[in-house]
Structure formats: C-alpha cells, structure tokens
Amino acid sequence: MSAVGGSTRRSEREGCGRLTGSTRPTSRDVARAAGVSQATVSLVLGGKWHGRVSERTAHAVRDAAGRLGYRPNLAARNLRLGRTRTALMVVPALTNEYFARVYTGAALVAAEHGFGVVLYPSPDGVGPARDPFGSARAAIDGVIASSMAADALTGIGGGELPLVMLDSGPAAPGGPPTVDLAVGDGFRQVVRHLVALGHRRIAHVAADIDSWTFHERTRTVAAELAAVPGAELTSERCSLDVDAGRSAALRALRGPGPRPTALLCDDDILAAGACKAARSLGLRVPADLSVTGFDDLALATALDPELTSVRLPAEAVGDRGMTALLTLLDGGSVGPVELPVELVVRGSSAPPPA
C-alpha cells in the first residue's frame, strides 16, 4: 500500500504547474507560456496592444492562448468594467441593401474586438427613434446611427450614450463624431456626366425623405445646373420605392413643355421605377432617355441596360463608424471622416436624341 501511495504522491508532484484536461487555463498560464506579463496578455487579448507592444509579442501571446485553449472570461471582465460589449446600430429601414452592407462593415470590426452589434430599424424611419430596450444604458455601450439626425436619437439611453453618426451630415459644434459619404461630390459627378453628354433638360426624381443625405442631393443638383447655360431643371418628389419612382418619372415625362432628355434619380430603386415609366411610354433607354441612379446596389446591374450609378463604400462606412465608437469607449477623440464615392458609367446614359 505504501508503494501505491508513494506513486500517487509522485504523480501529483509531477503534475504541479502542468495543465490537465479538467483544468481551465488562466491568463497567468498564457503569460508564462509566452514569456510576458499578465498585463501584456490582457492588452493583446483585449485588442488594445497597438502602439504598446510589438507585433511579434502580440503574435506570441495569441499563439500561446491558442495552444493552451485559453478563452478570456468576458462576462467577468465586462462586469468589472461596467461594459456589455454590445453596440446598437439604428437605421431607417431594413429593406435597403445599403444598410445591410453598412452593418456588415461594422460587425466585422466589432467581432475583432469582442463586441456584438444589434441592428435596430427605427419604427418611425429617420426619427425620432424609440428606445428598443426600455433602458438602453443597461443593455448597450454605445450607438451608431446611419442616415438619421442626431436629435432623433435622444430617446435611446436618454441621449447620454456614446454616439457616432453615419451619412448624416457635418456635426454641430460639440456634436457626435461623423462618418459621411461625399454625397455632394457624387451628384456633381452625375450632373457633369449628363451635361458632358449634351443633356440640358434634366428631371430630378427626388426621394421625399427629411434627412441630410437627400437634402444634400437636391442642393447639389440645383447648384450644378444653375451654372450651366441653357439648362432646365424640373423635380418630382416621391417615397423611396419602385412604384413611387415610376409615378414620379411619369409626371416628369408628361409634364408641360419639352420632355426631359435625362432622369437623374436619388437612388437605384427610383431609377428602376423610372426605367419602367420610360418603357410604358414607348421610350428607349438610353436612345430616347437617359436614366441615372445612386448607391450602385445589386439592382443596378440587374437592369437592362445596366444602370449608370454612383458607388458608395457602404462597408467602409460601417467599418469607420464602429472604429470611431470603439475609440470613444476607450476615452479617445475622433474627428470627422468623409469617404469618397465613384461614378460608374454603364449603358443607361448616352447623348440625348438629336
């Protein structure tokens, strides 16, 4: 019996400092395996190592954590920091492909930092948005809002949560950080493209939505064409769907005076409606009528002819927005960001008929 007992004690001694199948590895184990301090392990696995430790050290920590099967106890960490590691993204609607792409960009960055993103379509469109949790401050760490007004978010967390605005226009002094698209430049590119083709009678099929991005489109079209000698601009406003775009385009094409030679649409969805309107009147696109869109959705290349549109870096908007929110949560400062857009010329635009 003594031999057996001695063998058991030797086994226990030999097992000291070694992980067994039933032992959960700790950050101290990772630090020992990587040859670094526990503080360094915390920085690396918490995603805060950039500028503090080397890439080589970060790799060694991640490699050690992987070999040991270490997983940070996020629940305990979040409780200690008073964090939920959850962000809320508020959008006007879920039916538009653009917002899905913005969410994708934000979610990828969030996942890299151990965060989740809850997507919330505001029941009232561009606002004011209601608090989906009853008490958002207890459920989320911050808010990202796309294509809305800052004062429409005050109902979420009492307006006291960190907030980043996307595609919502320049912030007022002291307002939240902004990540905007160069919407005005995009419409300048479209107008100048049509003018260079020879168009002078242009109808603007405008989305009847009270938000900065659509106001900016209307302002830019009017300003650009006001500087073109002989240009005639008409405008028809409508809701953002295909049937409404078709009706607005029909009004523009049947209106008094010479018929427009180009329909400049606020969105690819409206442009699809405009193409339907042209066909219903026996007009060929682009031989009799040019049509342009905006956003460069998948719809743009599904139409025949394919749609001239403005490509928006939607995923990059979400990426930069989430990055800005994480910086705010870490106590950093964030400046305004404007992302460039690109005109993509396709078969739906051509010189006007002789």
Q: What is the pLDDT of residues 244-262, one digit of tens each?
A: 999 999 999 998 889 999 9
Residue type, 118: V
User: How far apart are alpha carbons 7 and 9 in whole angstroms?
Assistant: 5
| Fold category of 2-72 in CATH | 434 Repressor (Amino-terminal Domain) (1.10.260)
Exposure string over 245-266, b if 16+ CB within 10 A, otherwise e: bbbbbbbbbeeeeeebbbbbbb
Nearest 5°: the CA angle 327, 311, 343 is 125
83-180+315-338 maps to CATH 3.40.50.2300: yes
Torsion region of 17: left, alpha or beta (phi above 0 gives left; psi -120 to 50 gives alpha): left
Cis peptide before 260 (omega within 30 of 0): no
The pLDDT assigned to 9 comes to 38
* φ, ψ of residue 352 in degrees (nearest 5): -70, 160
In this chain, the answer to whether the domains covering 2-72 and 83-180+315-338 adopt an identical fold is: no
What tokens appear for 24 in the block?
């959960």
183-312 maps to CATH 3.40.50.2300: yes
Cα–Cα separations (whole angstroms), residue 349 to 241, 304, 344: 21, 12, 11
Residue type, 288: D
| Residue ranges covered by each domain of the chain | 2-72, 83-180+315-338, 183-312
Cβ contacts of residue 98 below 8 Å, gap of 6+?
295, 297, 312, 314
pLDDT in tens, the chain (354 residues): 334 344 433 333 333 334 444 477 888 888 899 999 888 887 887 766 777 888 889 889 888 888 888 766 554 454 444 467 889 898 988 888 999 999 999 999 999 888 889 888 887 766 667 666 555 555 788 889 888 876 777 777 656 788 899 998 887 788 889 999 999 999 999 999 999 999 999 999 999 988 899 999 999 999 999 999 999 999 999 999 999 999 999 999 998 889 999 999 999 999 999 999 999 999 999 999 999 999 999 999 999 999 999 999 999 999 999 999 999 988 888 889 999 999 999 999 999 998
The pLDDT assigned to 136 comes to 52
Exposure string over 142-169, b if 16+ CB within 10 A, otherwise e: bbbbbbbbbebbebbbeeebbbbbbbbb
